[in-house]
Each structure stands twice: as C-alpha cells, then as structure tokens.
Structure 1
Amino acid sequence: MSLPSPATSSPFTRAVVSSMRKIYPESLADKSWDNTGLLLEAPFNPARRQKNSVLLAVDLTKAVADEAIKRRDSVIVAYHPIIFRGLKSLTLNDPQQQSLLRLAQEGISVYCPHTAVDAVPDGMADWLCDLVTGAISPGSNDSSNATAKLASSSSSYSQPTYIQPPSSITTSSPTPHTRSTIHPSAGPVPEGFEDAGMGRLVTFAEPQPLPSIIDLIARGTGNPAGFSVAIPQSASLDSIQIRTVGVCPGSGAGVLMKATSSGPPDLLFTGELSHHDALAAIERGSAVVALFHSNTERGYVRGVMRKKLEEALRKEWASSSKEELSSLKQDSSSATDGLEAALADQEVTVDVSENDRDPYGIIIRRDLA
C-alpha cells in the first residue's frame, strides 16, 4: 500500500505531541538557543504501523534508536534535542543523522522538549529542589545501590559505573524552606504556568549541614559510586552550613552564578560547571555539587515525566482517536481500512529507555574500593 497523500504522521504521534505541548508548553523553552518540539516527523504507513507506545530518554543515541526500532515504538521523546543547529545535509556518514534516517524509515518520530521541562512549575528544576529538601526519596523496592555496574577485565580499575536513578520514589516531609524561580519566563506565559522560569533558589528556614544535603542527593539519584563536589579551600566538608541552594538541570553556570544579588548561592547543585566557573564559585565561598550533565535530568524523566505523559496521553488519545474515527467512518474508501484499525487501537504505553545513560561513568581503583 502506498503512503497516504499528502504524507502525514500517525494519529498516535499527533496525540503524543499534543500531550507534551500541554504538559510542557514549547513557549516556555529558551528559544534564543534551544531547539525544541517535533524534530523528526515520520510519515505514517497504515500497512506497517507502529505500536501505540512511546520511549522516553534523555539522549537519543544509536543504542536508544535500536531499542525503539526493536520495540516498534511510534515516538521517541528525547529530552535533549538531537538537532541543535541547522543541517545542510542528512547522510549516513554522520552517526546521529544515520539514527534519524533509520527512525524515519521505520516510521518513528522524535519529539524533544528540553528547556520547556526545566521551566515549568513542578518540572525538572523543582524535582531537584525536592531532592535537596528531602521531599522525595527512593521507593521501598529500590536497592541500596542502583548504580549500574559492568564487569571489568582490568586488574587495577573497575569498569565505569553509571548513575541509574531509582525506578520509583516516595514522598516525605521536606525540610522547611521556601523556593523561588531564578529567571522567570518572559510573559505572557500560558495559564497555569505563572511561576515558570529557569533555575530555582531554595532557602532553608535553618542552615543545613552540607554532608546532610549530599546524602539526600545521593539517595535520590540511586546512591552513585561517587560524584564531584567543590568546596572553598579554607573550609572542610563537615564545617559548611548551607542556607541557600541554587539548582539547575544540566549545565547551570549561566543560571546559577548570578542567582542572588550578591552572587552565587551557598550551594550550586547542577550537572556540570566549567573549571573556571567552579573556581569562581568556591572563591566566593560557595560549594558545588555536580552529578555529570544528564544525571540531574534522568531521574525526573524516569520518576515523573513518564507518569505525567502516560496520564495525559491516555486522555488525549481516547478523545482524538474517537473524533477521527467518527469522521473516518463517513468515508467509504477502502484506503481508510488501515487507518481505521489504528484509530480503534486504544492501547497506550509509555516506557523509559533501558539503554539511556550519561556518557560519563566513574571508575574506581580496586585497592581503594
């Protein structure tokens, strides 16, 4: 069967895009540099349609693309845009472009929300606030160490271990605090998203020991084998008390270094800072916790975004498919048979990629482990 004319994406894909735009409005993304939205719209072929399923990931790598193709997903929702800059060509010589071409061939579209997720209230930035205030913790079924480990043939060092966030979380009473948006979104903002913006500033009612905050971060991210901490050279870890915490997913320097009128907060919690930004922070008396870039993002995708999207998508698909099916039944053309079957399928699945991980892992000398 030939493709519908004109070519269009699948009805289920359109429902996914509509759901994502309602949860994470694209207007809240930082369009001055970011590239968000539907970045790959694969044509729909009713004769070889994909399952009504979505695969969530932070980064769209070849391994994630292979996983989606094997699963026969309709859409990959990748938090980071796989296309940041304008492309002059799409060829098989570039590994990332090769993944896009293969996905298009298989009928799998790609949607990337990125900084829209950072900006929304109760989004990724607020999830990081929940970590440092103790408002969330790993679920009861999670192991004491959720870090993924690989066997090693090295006699001196372990294989890299990769932070794997808990598969579930539980809520608890947070340490008393207030929080505010560091850089509010420029108006007008969509109704219900009035507190949107980049970065959050947590202010504790009483100063908290830095080691206690580090323990909360570790537990909330799966007890990794280690992560980077920077403190002023004149201080010891146990002596530092934290009143204000600036949080920003990913690379937070641009958001956090001027988070308050006097400069950085007492603690900068982010994925990564450059060498010089970290030096500038500790010289001003601040501490830094950096988990590697995407490890500040992956836990939210697994613990929050999956559930939010699944709930919104079930409602969206039930409504939109019913409406399209009603309209389609008025068309007696036999060419609509495959489309009618697609619209009648009410199964909806949203899963998190098993292959998605930060490029950086941690290796440990065996005689020090």
Structure 2
Amino acid sequence: MSASTTIAPFSNAAVRAMRRLYPQALADSSWDNTGLLLEAPFVSSRRLSNTILLTIDLTKAVADEAIARQSSIVIAYHPIIFRGLKSLTLANSQQHTLLRLASHGISVYSPHTAVDAAPGGLGDWLADIVTGTKTSYVGEDSDTDTTSRTSKKTDDDPFVEKRPPVYTLHRHPSQTTLRLSKTPSPTTTTVPHTRCPIVPQSPELASHPGAGMGRIVTFSQPQPLPTLLDRIGKGMNNPKGFPIAIPQNASISDLSISSVGICAGSGGSLLANLDVDLLFTGEMSHHEALAAIEKGQVVISLFHSNSERGFLSEVLRGQLEEVMDEEWKKVREEESGKEEYKEALTEEDFEIVVSEVDRDPYGIVILKAEAE
C-alpha cells in the first residue's frame, strides 16, 4: 500500500467548495485557526465513501462516527487545532482523534469565523431567527419529550441514578431530526428591520459583499420581548429552556426590544460596547451579563454550540450540496487522466451528513417533585 503526497480527490473537492462558500480571508486570523487542518494522504487501494460529515465539535465520538461511515472528510466548525503543536501523541485526547482519523485517511477542514462573518452565514441565520425570516424547519417529533431520544443509553450518564429519578436531563434536540420545509410557515412573517455587521469586513471581498463579524438588527417597530423569545425558541427547535438576564425591577412581559446585537458562540467581547436593547449570543460570562443588565440591556444565551449547531442542517448542508455538485464534477474532469485516481473518480454521487452524536456538553436538569 503506497500513499500519495496529495489529498483524496473527493476531499479536495470538498475543500474547494468550502473555500468558495466561506473564504479564509473572512476569518479572524488574529486568533482563529481555519482551513485544512488535517490533510490525510490519498491511498489508491483504500476506498472511502464520498461522504462529508458535518459537525460543530470534533470529539472522539464524532471521529468514531466518521470512521464507521468511512467518510472522506470531516468539516468541523470549531478547529480542533488552535495553537502550534510540539508533538502528536496518543496521550492527548484531541491529538489521539487526529491520529486516528489520519490513519483511516480522513481529512479535517474547519471554517469557524469565516462562517460567522460571511453573508448568509451564522450571523445572518441568527438574525433571521429573531426577525421571523428563518426558513421553516419542522422536527419529525417536535411535540415529543426529547429525553425519549437521549436517555436510552444511561449507563455512562452521571446525571442518571439507579433509583426513581427526581429530575430529567434535557439536551438540545439533535439537528438530525430536522427536515426542510420548502416554504416558510404560513404563520411566520418577516418583521421589517435593517441589519449590518458589528465589525464590517475590511477590506471587503468582492465575492462576499456585506461580510463582517456579528450582526446588529434594528426593528422598524419595537418588538415585545415575549414575541422574540417565542421566535428564538422555535428557531432553536424548541429546547427545554435557555438562560435570559433582564434588568432588575423589570419583568419580561413589560420589555420591548428595538435593536439586537448578535454573535454566535461566545459573544462577550464583540457585544460588550454595543448600544442595543438585547444581546443575543451563545455564551456570556456572569460579569459581562451583569454589566449588560446594569445598563438596561437584556441578555439571551443559548449555550455555546447550541447557537451554532442548527446552522449545519438548516443552511450549510444545502449550500454545500449545491457547490459540491460543481466542484466534484470539476475535480473528476481535471484528474481523469491520472491512473492512481481511476477508481476514486468512478463514483459520481456523494452524500453530506450531519453528525448524529455531536452535541453541546451542557444539558438542562429539570427537577421534579419527589415521589412520596
């Protein structure tokens, strides 16, 4: 078995497609680490499937899933490598994951903040949710308690005891349960508003005008806070709850929102100095939230990766399918004369799947009255 010095043709097409959709020039390179983080060499005698696995976090469980699927490449939103490595050993869990994937010929690409900044990316997806313009996605069993899907394997769950429980652990619904409705819900209307990046891209990319980090949404008319909470809950596929901070001596029913600052993931630093009514993010520290409500602002946080995960199935998968149609065709034409790629180029079809095991590390424990 001999390995080439190039990536598998299908993985190459996936990388090209991601760079078209989310150029690395849009990422915040001052701290972020985006792009092709693991380039597994192509081995002609080892056939992987033409499958792209999408995930937010590249964990051991996700790596197991990619290996079981024989995926050619994992697109992990969060980079598994942030800083320079002085070694690659099995003792480190993340390095272990990378070594295992490399041994199976599976590459890893991470777009991260390029997705945050791009028009039509994560920032706009969250802005669509708060303005009611989000494409409608309906869960297969949206009225069913999510614990029916998450509590089947409880032996390794530290929240589950062997006596009758006085609580249940609710996790954010798996995004693999969503299906696309081709038309928006008839009860959803677009709320008139304007939006712009918090930090515009500079210099602007001609291919991606309007890019930039975060979003500011300004409504034409103030929106009742309970209405926004309803939109956010539905947009997040009805989680069992999420944190909210409001000014002291105020009540949710009394508050109206004219402007919203938006940042996926951890938004404390980007949102800190905004003069808006509501800060909508995945994560904010205690003191950052306290400072915000002291200024009269409202804070909504969704748990870090739950502000990002739905984007994979609701937006990225469809975008990537469309561009991959073009890029895979181009790669197959460009490499058609190379004998080492002959078998790898025979399969025209491909599949893009969202991880079934990727999830935020946090769930919500809901206490019950203890049985007498």
TM-score, normalising length: structure 1? 0.92
From 349, 352, 362, the counterpart of 1:350: 352
Indicate yes or no: 2:172 matched with 1:162. yes
Give the match's secondary structure for 1:158: strand
1:145 Cα deviation after fit: 4.3
Indicate yes or no: 2:311 matched with 1:300. yes
**Superposed, which structure 2 residues align to 1:35-54 within 5 Å?**
35-54=33-52
Q: Letter of the 2:351 partner, please give it.
A: T
Partner of 2:300: 289
Partner Cα separation in structure 2 for residue 313 and residue 204 of structure 1: 36
Given that residues 139 and 237 in structure 2 are in contact (C-alpha distance below 8 angstroms), is that contact kept between their aligned partners in structure 1?
Answer: no
1:235-265 deviations in Å (ceiling 9; x for gaps): 1010000000111100011211223xxx3x1
Give the match's secondary structure for 1:343: coil
1:172-227 deviations in Å (ceiling 9; x for gaps): 5311111111100110x332312100010111111001111011000111111111
Partner of 2:257: 242
Given that residues 103 and 109 in structure 1 are in contact (C-alpha distance below 8 angstroms), is that contact kept between their aligned partners in structure 2?
Answer: yes
Partner of 2:155: none
TM-score, normalising length: structure 2? 0.91
Pick closer, same or farther for the CA change 1:147–1:114 going to 2, 3 Å.
farther
Partner of 1:9: 7
**Percent of pairs with identical residues:** 51
Partner Cα separation in structure 1 for residue 109 and residue 369 of structure 2: 45
Partner Cα separation in structure 1 for residue 180 and residue 103 of structure 2: 34
Partner Cα separation in structure 2 for residue 32 and residue 109 of structure 1: 24
1:140 Cα deviation after fit: 4.4
Given that residues 132 and 217 in structure 1 are in contact (C-alpha distance below 8 angstroms), is that contact kept between their aligned partners in structure 2?
Answer: yes
Given that residues 172 and 306 in structure 2 are in contact (C-alpha distance below 8 angstroms), is that contact kept between their aligned partners in structure 1?
Answer: no
Number of residue-to-residue matches in the alignment: 352
Structure 2, unaligned runs of 5 or more: 152-159
Given that residues 22 and 115 in structure 2 are in contact (C-alpha distance below 8 angstroms), is that contact kept between their aligned partners in structure 1?
Answer: yes
1:142 Cα deviation after fit: 3.8
Partner Cα separation in structure 2 for residue 122 and residue 112 of structure 1: 18
**Superposed, which structure 2 residues align to 1:249-328 within 5 Å?**
249-259=264-274, 263=275, 265-325=276-336, 327-328=337-338
Could you say what the CA RMSD is over the residues aligned between the two structures, in angstroms? 1.6
List 4+ stretches of structure 1 deviating above 4 A. none
Partner of 2:157: none
Give the match's secondary structure for 1:39: strand
Structure 1, unaligned runs of 5 or more: 329-335
**Superposed, which structure 2 residues align to 1:21-60 within 5 Å?**
21-60=19-58
Partner Cα separation in structure 2 for residue 357 and residue 275 of structure 1: 23
Q: Letter of the 2:80 partner, please give it.
A: I
Partner Cα separation in structure 1 for residue 236 and residue 180 of structure 2: 11
Given that residues 56 and 353 in structure 1 are in contact (C-alpha distance below 8 angstroms), is that contact kept between their aligned partners in structure 2?
Answer: yes
Partner Cα separation in structure 2 for residue 81 and residue 322 of structure 1: 31
Partner Cα separation in structure 2 for residue 141 and residue 290 of structure 1: 22
Indicate yes or no: 2:210 matched with 1:195. yes
Given that residues 53 and 73 in structure 1 are in contact (C-alpha distance below 8 angstroms), is that contact kept between their aligned partners in structure 2?
Answer: yes
